[in-house]
Chains A and B, each alone.
Chain A
Amino acid sequence: MSAYKKEVWFTIIMSVILLLAGHVGFIFSIFPVEGNLFGFPIMYIVPILVGWFGIFILTIIAGKIGNHIDDAIDAENEENIKEQNAEMKGVR
């Protein structure tokens, strides 16, 4: 996959996952569940935990992938420059 496609798909997928993780309350409002977790109602504590630790983990992943995509774009840039230079030499 080209660096461009990686960048676009990463941004779309990561934004959607972050949106879902930050809006677990919205999901529970459509699909309510009963029961307790760690002594709290599930529909209270899960949005809080996902809204903190879930997003924390997602930002670590997003940071790593973001850095990787920057490197991929740099590598593709260098390749493009090499190709252009080779073409220029061919023309001469």
Chain B
Amino acid sequence: MEQAWQLTNPVIGIVIVFATFVLFYAVSYFSNRASKSVEDLYIAGAAVGPITNGLAMASTYMSLATFLGVTALILRIQVPFVLLWIQMILAIPLITIIYGTSLRRMGAFSPTHFVRERYGVSASLIAALFMILVSIMYALGQMIGIAVTFETLLGIPYSTGLIVGGFLIVGFVTLGGMSGATNNAAIQMVIIALMFIIPLGAIMKAMGGSGWYFPPLFYADMVPAMLEAMPNFFDYQYSPKWYFAIIPALTIGALGLPHLAMRIYTASNLKSARQAMIWCVLVLGLIFSATYAMGFAGVYYAQISGVEISPADADKLTIILNLVYNPEWVTALVIAGAISAGLSTLNGNLLAIGALISQDIVTTLRPKLINKSKVRLGYMSIAMGGLLSILLAFNPPEFLTVSILWAFGLSGVTNAPLIIMGVWWKEANKYGAMAASVIGGVVYVIVSPFVLPNIVVSGHALTDGMGLSGAMLAVPLSFILLIVVSYITNRIPALQKNLPTDEDHKLVERIHGWSDVNPARYNSTFGAFVMTSLSIAVFVWALLPWVF
């Protein structure tokens, strides 16, 4: 038995979604009245407090996938996807500890800004182009998701939803800059939490669960019934290699995502950035756990009700549960929450695209632009990024609509090694950085199933499609190339004149907080050797046959 899942009275949904847009516009307008410099535009004048920033970090990170995609994948592969998603919480803490505070000290606008200062213009242009690709894939995913949500749940045709919704979104992102985005993201976080967890509690109660008052964790009494209906729900299914591959693909991948790192640069000081990280983890843990509970409830419902949820409808699992168990006006609030989740991520993506185009490409090529032109260019770049996403979403090229998780891997291959080694190893140089970014990036694209379907690493469609196997091969390759090529080229006398070694060393010391330069610091050959050895081991393991 298959059925169409839609609000019978879409007007309620449209009114609630419209009301949230009015709120976001008002916040954008009042937040950004004083954006006079590029610092104001991209990092909100580096003056955001820890609670607002922590909420904004969590909200920017949680995309439409949190509401729709994760529950769909739990329906499809059950507990392994829960275990895959849990580590997503590491992104902000690891970014903060490994390089975020250093780049905040430097006053960077984006991770690529650091790459430019550290490795020079050519390396930063390569990194920026890859990052724009990652950000567009991300933004496009949100834009399509929002338009599809409008279409399937509110009955608004896809093109109309895309044009009206898309322009409304681009309008408030451009109007608000980072200050508006931050305040909006913090508000969106509260909306997401309320619109996800309270209706989940009602669903749990209707299903007979006794722990409805705290649904993220209190559903153990439903476990025996689940095991009866689906005995293999809790099975791990995959080998340790599959679980290990999540580290290079998604954990290291998240370290290179520009829209996450940029949140740390908005902090008013380093202590505030570290406090924001704590708030972010607390809130992310709450929502993520609620997502697993929603996935559990969805699988449970599908098993006991006999209702067949078609693969095309799997993304709507959260909404389906609300349509079944809650009144329509609650479902309308959940839809508004899902759209808010998409908006906050899109907001971060568009700002990252704006910073990448205007600061990392145009200003790099034309460094003499005056401040006013830079700000104007910034607004134009954000709007252009948004318009491009809308245009692409009309008839999206297939290679751009691959899983967003695959884009994590691309950022892990092309950006993360440059930033991590650039911050912690003075010997890292532009030749190593370019080799790592270009060769690593090309290898990752080649072994993806989207370009040459015959050349893949694992042969398992889901694993290759999410970039797990590709990243397990290409991320260590990038680290190896960066370290080995840098080490060798630093010892070729003919190349010395092209390497601003002294300035690089000063920069590395400065971003760690030192006022002097000490050759013994951040220069460990042993550390680089250990990193290379580990990378070779992972690289070889990725090449060995995959058993599922």
Chain B residues within an 8 Å CB radius of A73: 512-514
Give the distance to chain B from A58, nearest Cβ to Cβ, in Å: 7
A29→B93 contact, CB < 8 A: no
Q: How far is the CA of A18 from the CA of B98 in the complex (A)?
A: 12
Give the segment of B4-12, B161-169, B275-283 that binds chain A: B275-283
* Cβ–Cβ < 8 Å partners of B277 in chain A: 59, 62-63
Closest to A51 in B: B86
Collect the chain A residues with CB atoms within 8 Å of residue B236's CB: 25, 28-29, 32, 43
Q: Are B243 and A40 in contact (CB under 8 A)?
A: no
Contact among A32, A41, A47, A58 with B93 in the assembled complex (CB-CB below 8 Å):
A58
B318: interface (CB < 8 Å) = no
Contact B87 A44 (CB under 8 A): no
Please, how many angstroms separate the alpha-carbon atoms of A40 and B87 in the complex?
20
When distances are taken between beta carbons in the complex, the residues of chain B under 8 Å from A29 are: 236, 238-240, 242-243
Inter-subunit contact A59/B94 (CB<8 Å): no
Q: CB of B15 within 8 A of chain A?
A: no
Report whether A41 and B234 are in contact in the complex, using a CB–CB cutoff of 8 Å. Answer: yes
Contact B82–A48 (Cβ < 8 Å): yes
B97 within 8 A of A: yes
| Most B-side CB within 10 Å, residue of A14, A40, A52 | A52
A6 to B327, CA, bound (A): 56
Given known contacts A52-B285, A59-B281, A80-B515, is B243 in contact with A25 (CB within 8 Å)? Answer: yes
B101 within 8 A of A: yes
Pick the contact of B94 from A18, A47, A52, A53 — CB < 8 Å?
Answer: A18
Pair A55/B285 contact, Cβ less than 8 Å: yes
Closest to B91 in A: A22
Question: Please, which residues of chain B bring their CB within 8 A of the CB of A51?
Answer: 86-87, 89, 285, 288
Q: Does A91 make an interface contact (CB < 8 A)? A: no
Q: B47 at the A/B interface (Cβ < 8 Å)?
A: no
A43 cross-chain contacts in B, Cβ below 8 A: 234, 236
Interface residues on B, range: 35 or more
Q: Which chain B residues in 367-383 approach chain A with CB under 8 Å?
A: none
**Segment of B60-68, B244-252, B308-316, B454-462 in the binding face:** B244-252
Contact A23:B243 (CB < 8 A) given known A56-B285, A80-B515: yes
Residues of chain B touching chain A, judged by Cβ–Cβ distance below 8 Å, are: 79-80, 82-84, 86-87, 89-90, 93-94, 96-98, 101, 217, 220-221, 223, 234, 236, 238-240, 242-244, 246-247, 251, 270-271, 274-275, 277-278, 281-282, 285-286, 288-289, 292, 424, 512-516, 518, 521
User: Is A18 a contact of B275 with CB atoms below 8 Å?
Assistant: no
Q: State the Cβ distance, A24 to closest chain B Cβ, in Å.
A: 8
Cβ contacts A to B, 24 pairs, < 8 Å: A14-B97, A18-B94, A19-B90, A22-B90, A23-B246, A26-B243, A28-B236, A29-B240, A39-B220, A40-B223, A43-B234, A48-B86, A52-B285, A53-B285, A55-B281, A55-B285, A58-B93, A62-B97, A62-B274, A63-B271, A66-B101, A66-B270, A70-B270, A77-B513
Contacts of A25 in B (CB 8 A): 80, 83-84, 86, 236, 243
Whether A15 pairs with B94 at a CB distance below 8 angstroms is yes
- How many A-B contacts if CB must be within 8 Å? 131
CA distance A55 to B176 in the complex (A): 32
- How many residues on the A side are at the interface (Cβ–Cβ under 8 A)? 43
B214 → chain A closest CB, angstroms: 12
Please judge, given known A-B contacts A4-B521, A44-B234, A67-B271, whether A26 and B516 are in contact too, CB under 8 Å.
no
- Residues on A with beta carbons closer than 8 Å to the beta carbon of B87: 22-23, 51
Question: Which of A51, A60, A74 is the most central at the interface, judged by chain B CB atoms within 10 Å of its CB?
Answer: A51
Residues of A within 8 A of B234 (CB): 41, 43-44
Spell out A's residues near B (CB within 8 Å).
4, 7-8, 11, 14-15, 18-19, 22-26, 28-30, 32, 38-41, 43-44, 47-48, 51-53, 55-56, 58-60, 62-63, 66-67, 70, 73-74, 77, 80-81
- On chain B, the residues within 8 Å of A8 by CB distance are 424
Whether A22 pairs with B97 at a CB distance below 8 angstroms is no
Chain B residues within an 8 Å CB radius of A70: 270, 513
A63 — which chain B residues lie within 8 A by C-beta?
271, 274-275, 277-278
> In the complex where A55-B89, A74-B513 touch, is A47 in contact with B83 (Cβ < 8 A)?
yes
Contact of B275 with A52 in the complex, beta carbons under 8 Å: no
Beta-carbon contact of B278 and A56 below 8 Å: yes
Residue contact A66 to B86, C-beta cutoff 8 Å: no
User: Measured between C-beta atoms, what is the minimum distance from B219 to chain A in Å?
Assistant: 9
Do A56 and B282 touch across chains, with their CB atoms under 8 A apart? yes
| B-side contacts of A48, CB under 8 Å | 82, 86, 217, 289, 292
Known: A62-B97, A80-B516. 19 other contacts (CB 8 A): A11-B424, A18-B94, A19-B90, A19-B94, A19-B251, A29-B240, A38-B220, A44-B82, A51-B87, A51-B285, A51-B288, A52-B281, A52-B286, A52-B288, A55-B93, A55-B281, A59-B93, A66-B96, A67-B270
A44 to B362 alpha-carbon distance, docked (Å):
49
A30 contact set on B, CB distance < 8 A: 240
Choice from A40, A41, A81 contacting B515 with Cβ under 8 Å? A81
Q: Residue of A at shortest CB range from B244?
A: A26
